[in-house]
Amino acid sequence: MSLGPPPPWKHLADEGSRATLTLLRERTAPILANNLLPHFTDHSVDHSDSVARLIDNLLENGTKTLTDQELVILYSACYLHDIGMQFEPAGETEVISSLNLLPPWDRQSIPNKRELLRAHHNRISAELVRKSVNSPTPPIGFQLPSASNASYIACLCHAHCISAHTSEYDGLLVDSPVRMRLLSAILRLADILDESRRRATRERARTLELDLDAQTHWWRHYYTEDVTFNHTDREITIHFDFPPERLAEYKQIVPLLQMPQIHAELQCHIPVLVKHGLGWSVRHESKCKPYSDVDEMPEGVLTAMLRQLAEQRRVEDEERRLLALSQFQEARPSIERRLQSLKERESSTEPGAYLLELSNIAFDLFDLGGRRSAHSVLHSSYIEGLHHLQLDDRIRIGIRLLEVLVDDGRDFETTQLIEKLAPSLQELPQNDDRRRKYTLLEIRALISACGYQEAKAAITAALQWASPAEAVSLTADLAEIELLQGDFGEEESRTDA
């Protein structure tokens, strides 16, 4: 096959090593072109070249350079880390044989074979590298001599897509004499940064029947236009390019799916990168170019992305919940002692002062993750004793308690509190920010309790004074209510207006 010029491998000076890399690239290119997973984004030699160029950028202006030995290992891994993905006789490998498949490899369906290759390609790549050392028929198409540091290359291939927080990863990357953790960090970061339009052209996508998951993957790549490096400030920028008519919508979705993966990968390796003078930060920009011809994604793909985003947020919420639970368990003995002390002093404490101290404990509970404990401690006492509080304290505690109840979906207690608190709010001036906050919470409570007509009326009134950010949220709430009620007439009227 005809290849274009190789990437510069600009940090490697030794001509003999450069000639070896050139030959390795030529011999692996036909294998990488097998394209056994056509529904996946590009993993040809073009991807390997792009990873090598990104590595050149990541190493630019570093305060400590890599040795020629390390550079050859790293650049070689660019061409070998995905080679297992294109090895069709994978049933002959130790990796697949050890799975004891039923039915065996040669009787597996094509989709199953593709999924097995995708899932185990890193280990297959490592095995193929090892089996190519001094082999007359090297499976990578290139015989690796004993002095080629093949074991290091194999370790980088194996480690390039497993969790960096595992003993398996640690066991593959022993820093002696080669700085393996550093090389792995650079390879993995370059690999994840090569998610761009070049790897997911619309022309190729139109020739494939992609399932919905594959389509979302392709479209995220398609909208990632470029990656640039500010070597002075050590800053990487991911550039997203969207259709002008959908910019406002798409920029709230695609980067939120793409960027967390890049940030998470960078965070895994920041300590070793900074230690060797190669620290970077990552940001992104969303734009549309004049006369842009970027396509809009199908609505089904957009909906699938929104589902992925919702699931991502659910996982993040669950992680926060588990962290809050841990914090609550640690703080619980102290909170219980404070409650016991207050209870012992209840008969000798003025009711208003008692309620103030109780509210402080309850909100500390809430902030530490004890959401339900917080409102169970405070709700009944506040309902019965709020008349003992000064107006400002009554409203401050009431609004905070209302926020706790709404967040926890306690519809009955919320309704009860609103009835008790509403008269106090009427004593405030119309433009008081506390009235605004109360109204927004009341709307959330009404929607939660399925009081849609009351919520619509409250939203319509609130839109007269809401800030731009509040108006966006309220309009979304109103659209959701109308969707739930099957009432689209008002939405169309607002759009026409």
**Unique residue bearing structure tokens 């400030």:** 233
3-state secondary structure 73-111: HHHHHHHHCCHHHHCCCHHHCHHHHCCCCCCCHHHCCHH
Is the CB of residue 226 less than 8 Å from the CB of residue 284? no
Q: In which band, very low, low, confident or very high, does the pLDDT at 494 lie, cut at 50, 70 and 90? A: very low
Tens digits of residue pLDDT in 17-68: 999 999 999 999 999 988 777 666 677 899 999 999 999 999 998 767 899 9
Tens digits of residue pLDDT in 87-101: 989 999 999 999 999
User: What's the number of CA atoms in the CB half-sphere (13 Å) around residue 393?
Assistant: 16
Q: What is the pTM of this model?
A: 0.71
The contacts of residue 188 (CB under 8 Å, 6+ apart) are 159, 160, 161, 164, 265, 268, 269
- 203 has a pLDDT exceeding 70: no
Provide the token pair at 89. Answer: 């006789």
Which helix or strand (DSSP H or E) is residue 281 part of?
strand 281-287
Q: In which band, very low, low, confident or very high, does the pLDDT at 242 lie, cut at 50, 70 and 90? A: very high
Provide the token pair at 26. Answer: 């030529």
Length of the chain measured in residues: 497
Tens digits of residue pLDDT in 163-178: 999 999 999 998 878 9
Beta bridge partner(s), residue 224: 240
pLDDT the model gives residue 214: 82
CA distance 117 to 83: 10
Q: In which band, very low, low, confident or very high, does the pLDDT at 486 lie, cut at 50, 70 and 90? A: low
Tens digits of residue pLDDT in 340-362: 999 999 999 999 999 999 999 99
pLDDT the model gives residue 153: 97
Q: Which of 153, 291, 283 is nearest to 230 (CA)?
A: 283
CA 17 vs. chain centroid, Å, equals 38
